[in-house]
Amino acid sequence: MDLLLILTYAAFCTAVFKIFKIPLNKWTVPTAILGGVILIGTLLMLMNYNHPHSRTAVRAFISTPIMPNVRGLIVEVPVIPNTPLKKGDVLFKIEPKPFKQVVAQKQAALDLAKAQIAQLKESVELAKSTVAMAQAKHDRTKQDYERTKKSAAAVSERQLENKYQFYVSAEAGLTQSKTNLSRSVLELRAQETQVMAQRTADLERAQFDLDSCIVRAPSSGYVTHVRVRAGMMAVPLPLAPTMVFVPSEDHFVVASFRQNSMQRLKAGYEAEIMFPSIPGRVFKAEVVQTQPALGEGELQASGKLMKARELVTAGAAMVPVMVKIDDDLSEYILPDGVYAEVAVYSDHMHHVAIMRKILFRMKSWQNYIYLDH
């Protein structure tokens, strides 16, 4: 761009000197040169500040580490690397026999709990019948005692005492029957709310482990670098994922800009992107987000005092900016993670943005030229 501006200015000066027949002397030539330096330098500085450019950008993507929920021997890996997958497609399978045995054990324990509940319900019904019989006996003996007591002159004292003893015995039996009923009801409730719930939860957990023997795709996407094979051991460790899954999401570009350009990097500004892997093409984009915090200034609580050399780095940290591509790139072969260059066009000094656009396209054309031979 610098050379283009210099040549354009030189052609303009030549035309002016010839058209207006300006003499070439020690005053006109230095004046033309100095004017060109000031003019071109001013334009370049205005362009550089108001329409920043980044040479360090990358087409970023988010990967999902695939980790099994259970530990076991891998028996099958049907997934094909770098092939589009749908949500729920099988990635690999783990030997299910040990988990089937656990499910059978938990199912047996749950069936036993259900049988015990049925038995306790029968006990409750039996206790209710016993209470009903005891209540009837209590009411009958009470009536006999009260009737005998009213006609005490016609009966002996021994007969009255016997009636009273029958009544007291029936009342004690009724109390005992009610106590047995309450105990049976409590045992039934405990079996239903505690034991049954525990057995159900154990079975569901065992079934979940069994279902986890088949590891499926969490969403649409693909798996790359499939290095797991049948016979390997799968372990649920976050530090050792079995596969890396790349979801099919909208990609974004993260570009690093100098801090000098921060005031010209705002969400919504127009941007353009070029990829070395697509020479001669420039794509429209838009600034989506600028990071509100930089990792270089992060501080965490510790038992040590901070040192100055730990706070101040040798050079200013670059500012990451997220850019969204508006154009369709489906027709191009563009792997995730490729490098790119980004130019942002702010609302300030928009008339010099044409310089950045020309320079950006010239750099894109230069991608056709490389010396790898």
> pLDDT per residue over 15-30, tens digit each?
877 787 777 777 777 7
Contact 94, 73 (CB under 8 A): yes
Q: Is residue 242 part of a domain?
A: yes
Q: For residue 322, what are the CA distances in angstroms to 244, 314, 338?
A: 23, 25, 15
Contact 88, 217 (CB under 8 A): yes
| 125/204 same-domain check | yes
CATH number of the domain within which 72 lies? 2.40.50.100
Separation between Cα atoms, residue 225 and residue 240, nearest integer Å? 14
Separation between Cα atoms, residue 24 and residue 18, nearest integer Å? 10
| 161/198 same-domain check | yes
Task: Note the residue count of the chain.
Answer: 373
Residue 129: per-residue pLDDT: 80
| 89/217 same-domain check | yes
| 148/199 same-domain check | yes
Helical H segments across 231-352, by residue range: 308-311
Residue 76: per-residue pLDDT: 92
Separation between Cα atoms, residue 343 and residue 271, nearest integer Å? 6
Q: Is residue 175 part of a domain?
A: yes
Q: Is residue 303 part of a domain?
A: no
Residue bearing the bigger pLDDT, 120 or 211:
211
**Which tokens sit at 345?**
């066009």
What string of DSSP letters covers 50-62? HS-EEEEEEEE--
Which domain does 78 fall in, by range?
64-95+213-247
Sign of CA dihedral 207, 224, 283, 274: positive
Dihedral pair phi/psi, residue 33, rounded to 5°: -65, -45
Question: E strands along the chain, which residues?
Answer: 53-60, 64-66, 72-76, 90-94, 214-216, 221-224, 233-234, 243-247, 252-257, 270-274, 283-290, 319-325, 339-345
Q: Is residue 363 part of a domain?
A: yes
| 179/271 same-domain check | no
Task: Please count the structural domains in the chain.
Answer: 4
| 120/155 same-domain check | yes
CATH number of the domain within which 197 lies? 1.10.287.1700
CATH number of the domain within which 262 lies? 2.40.30.170
| 188/260 same-domain check | no
Phi-psi sector, 66: left (phi>0), alpha (psi -120 to 50), beta: beta
Residue 44: per-residue pLDDT: 81
Contact 51, 360 (CB under 8 A): no
With cut-offs at 50, 70 and 90, classify the pLDDT of residue 169.
Answer: confident
| 176/226 same-domain check | no
**Which tokens sit at 319?**
């500012």
Separation between Cα atoms, residue 92 and residue 81, nearest integer Å? 12
Answer whether residue 43 shows pLDDT above 90: no
Long-range CB contacts (< 8 A, 24+ apart) of 348-357? 348/50, 348/264, 349/46, 349/47, 349/50, 349/51, 352/43, 352/46, 352/47, 352/50, 352/51, 353/47, 353/50, 353/51, 355/1, 355/5, 355/43, 355/44, 355/47, 355/51, 356/47, 356/51, 356/53, 357/272
pTM over 0.75? The answer is no
Q: Is residue 151 part of a domain?
A: yes
Q: Is residue 236 part of a domain?
A: yes
| 139/165 same-domain check | yes
pLDDT digits (tens, 9 = 90+) for 349-365: 888 888 889 889 988 99
Residue at a domain's end among 184, 211, 238: 211
Separation between Cα atoms, residue 360 and residue 282, nearest integer Å? 8
pLDDT, averaged across the chain? 83
Separation between Cα atoms, residue 296 and residue 312, nearest integer Å? 9
pLDDT digits (tens, 9 = 90+) for 291-320: 887 777 777 777 777 777 766 665 567 889
Separation between Cα atoms, residue 135 and residue 155, nearest integer Å? 26
| 79/205 same-domain check | no
Q: Is residue 225 part of a domain?
A: yes
| 267/130 same-domain check | no
With cut-offs at 50, 70 and 90, classify the pLDDT of residue 281.
Answer: very high
Q: Is residue 305 part of a domain?
A: no
| 233/263 same-domain check | no
Average pLDDT over residues 87-104: 93
Q: CB neighbours of 246 closer than 8 A, spacing ≥ 6? A: 61, 62, 63, 64, 221, 222, 223, 224, 336
